[in-house]
Structure 1
Amino acid sequence: MLGVFGVILTLILLMYFAYKGASIIILAPILALLAALLSAGLDAHLMATYTEVFMQAFANYAKSYFPIFMLGAIFGKLMDESGAAKAIAHGVAEKFGKERALLAVVISCAVLTYGGVSLFVVAFAVFPIAASLFEQSNIPKKFIPPAIALGSFTFTMTALPGTPQIQNAIPMKYFGTDAYAAPILGISAAIIMGVAGVVYLNREIKKAQEAGEGYGKANEDIAVTAEEDLPPFSTSIIPIIVVLVLNYILGRVVYPKIDGSYLEKFGTDLQSVSGTWSLIISLIAAVLLTILLNRKRFDSILKNVNTGAANSLPTIINTASVVGYGNVIGSLAAFEIVKNAILGVSSNPLISEAISVNVLAGITGSASGGMSISLEALSEQYLTMAAQAGINPQVLHRIASLASGGLDTLPHNGAVVSLLTVCGMTHKDSYKYIFIVSVVIPMLTSIVAIILGNLGVV
Structure 2
Amino acid sequence: MISIFGIVLSLFLLMYLAYKGFSVIILAPVLAMFAVLWSGAANEMLGFYSQIFMTGLGGYIIKYFPLFLLGALFGKLMDASGSARSIAQFLVNKLGHHQAMLSIVLSCAILTYGGVSLFVVGFAVFPIASALFKQLGIPKRLIPAAIMLGALTFTMTALPGTPAIQNAIPMPFFDTDTYAAPILGIIASIIMFAGGMWWLNKRVRDAHTKQEGYGHHPYEVEAKFDDRRLPSVYLAFVPIVFVILCNFILSKFAFPALDTSYLAADKFGGITLSAVNGLWSITCALFFSCLLILALSWNRFTDIKETLQQGVSSSFLPIFNTASEVGYGSVIAALTGFVIIRDFLIGLAPNNPLISEAIVINVLAGITGSASGGLSIALNTMGETYKALALEHGISLELMHKVASMASGTMDSLPHNGAVITIITLCGLTHKQSYYDMFVVAIIFPLIALVAVVTLGTMFGSF
Structure 1 residue 427 corresponds to structure 2 residue 426: no
Is the Cα contact below 8 Å between 2:171 and 2:279 reproduced in 1? yes
1:297, 1:216 → 2: CA distance?
Answer: 36
Residue of structure 1 equivalent to 2:342: 339
Structure 1 residue 273 corresponds to structure 2 residue 273: no
Residue of structure 1 equivalent to 2:421: 417
Residue of structure 1 equivalent to 2:111: 112
Is the Cα contact below 8 Å between 2:24 and 2:325 reproduced in 1? yes
Residue of structure 2 equivalent to 1:173: 172
Residue of structure 2 equivalent to 1:30: 30
2:443, 2:220 → 1: CA distance?
Answer: 32
What is the letter of the counterpart of residue 126 of structure 1? V
1:438, 1:142 → 2: CA distance?
Answer: 15
Structure 1 residue 288 corresponds to structure 2 residue 276: no
* Pairs within 5 Å for 1:140-289: 140-217=139-216, 220-265=220-265, 266-267=268-269, 268-289=271-292
Q: 3-state SS of the aligned residue for 1:116?
A: coil
Is the Cα contact below 8 Å between 2:396 and 2:462 reproduced in 1? no
Cα drift, residue 257 of structure 1: 1.9
1:42, 1:230 → 2: CA distance?
Answer: 59
Task: Choose which of 345, 354, 358 in structure 2 pairs with 1:354.
Answer: 358
Q: 3-state SS of the aligned residue for 2:39?
A: helix
Is the Cα contact below 8 Å between 1:367 and 1:405 reproduced in 2? yes
Cα drift, residue 136 of structure 1: 1.9
User: Residues 57-79 of structure 1: CA distance to partner in whole angstroms, max 9, x if unpaired?
Assistant: 00000011110101000111111
Residue of structure 2 equivalent to 1:382: 386
Residue of structure 2 equivalent to 1:452: 456
Residue of structure 2 equivalent to 1:39: 39
Is the Cα contact below 8 Å between 2:229 and 2:300 reproduced in 1? no
Cα drift, residue 283 of structure 1: 0.3
1:229, 1:258 → 2: CA distance?
Answer: 43
What is the letter of the counterpart of residue 446 of structure 1? L
Cα drift, residue 51 of structure 1: 0.7
1:310, 1:299 → 2: CA distance?
Answer: 18
Cα drift, residue 220 of structure 1: 4.7
1:225, 1:453 → 2: CA distance?
Answer: 47
1:306, 1:273 → 2: CA distance?
Answer: 28
User: Residues 99-121 of structure 1: CA distance to partner in whole angstroms, max 9, x if unpaired?
Assistant: 00000000000000000000111
1:82, 1:428 → 2: CA distance?
Answer: 35
What is the letter of the counterpart of residue 286 of structure 1? S
Residue of structure 1 equivalent to 2:96: 97
Is the Cα contact below 8 Å between 1:98 and 1:133 reproduced in 2? yes
Q: 3-state SS of the aligned residue for 2:170?
A: helix
Residue of structure 2 equivalent to 1:438: 442
What is the letter of the counterpart of residue 275 of structure 1? G
CA RMSD of superposed structures (Å): 1.1
User: Which stretch has the larger CA shift, 284-293 or 7-16?
Assistant: 284-293
Structure 1 residue 305 corresponds to structure 2 residue 308: yes
What is the letter of the counterpart of residue 272 of structure 1? A
Is the Cα contact below 8 Å between 1:4 and 1:334 reproduced in 2? yes
User: Which stretch has the larger CA shift, 264-273 or 352-361?
Assistant: 264-273
1:335, 1:67 → 2: CA distance?
Answer: 31
CA distance 1:53–1:98, change in 2 (3 Å):
same
Cα drift, residue 134 of structure 1: 1.1
What is the letter of the counterpart of residue 359 of structure 2? I
1:42, 1:226 → 2: CA distance?
Answer: 61
2:327, 2:385 → 1: CA distance?
Answer: 20
Q: 3-state SS of the aligned residue for 1:55?
A: helix
User: Residues 222-256 of structure 1: CA distance to partner in whole angstroms, max 9, x if unpaired?
Assistant: 32323333110000110000100000000011112
Structure 1 residue 130 corresponds to structure 2 residue 135: no
What is the letter of the counterpart of residue 72 of structure 2? A
2:322, 2:461 → 1: CA distance?
Answer: 33
Q: 3-state SS of the aligned residue for 1:231?
A: coil
What is the letter of the counterpart of residue 319 of structure 1? T
What is the letter of the counterpart of residue 274 of structure 1? N
1:21, 1:377 → 2: CA distance?
Answer: 26
Cα drift, residue 259 of structure 1: 2.2
1:378, 1:26 → 2: CA distance?
Answer: 24
2:388, 2:276 → 1: CA distance?
Answer: 21
Residue segments in structure 2 that go unaligned for 5+ positions in a row: none
1:457, 1:74 → 2: CA distance?
Answer: 34
1:156, 1:38 → 2: CA distance?
Answer: 40
> Kindly, what percent of the aligned residue pairs are identical?
50
User: Which stretch has the larger CA shift, 98-107 or 292-301?
Assistant: 292-301
Is the Cα contact below 8 Å between 1:90 and 1:227 reproduced in 2? no
Residue of structure 2 equivalent to 1:322: 325
User: Which stretch has the larger CA shift, 30-39 or 209-218?
Assistant: 209-218
Q: 3-state SS of the aligned residue for 2:425?
A: helix
What is the letter of the counterpart of residue 332 of structure 1? L
Is the Cα contact below 8 Å between 1:3 and 1:39 reproduced in 2? yes
2:287, 2:90 → 1: CA distance?
Answer: 25
User: Which stretch has the larger CA shift, 448-457 or 355-364?
Assistant: 448-457
Which consecutive aligned stretches of 4+ in structure 1 deviate over 6 angstroms post-superposition? none
Residue segments in structure 1 that go unaligned for 5+ positions in a row: none
Aligned length: 457
What is the letter of the counterpart of residue 382 of structure 2? L
1:155, 1:360 → 2: CA distance?
Answer: 20
1:34, 1:404 → 2: CA distance?
Answer: 26
Q: 3-state SS of the aligned residue for 1:346?
A: coil
* Pairs within 5 Å for 1:53-68: 53-68=52-67
Is the Cα contact below 8 Å between 1:98 and 1:136 reproduced in 2? no
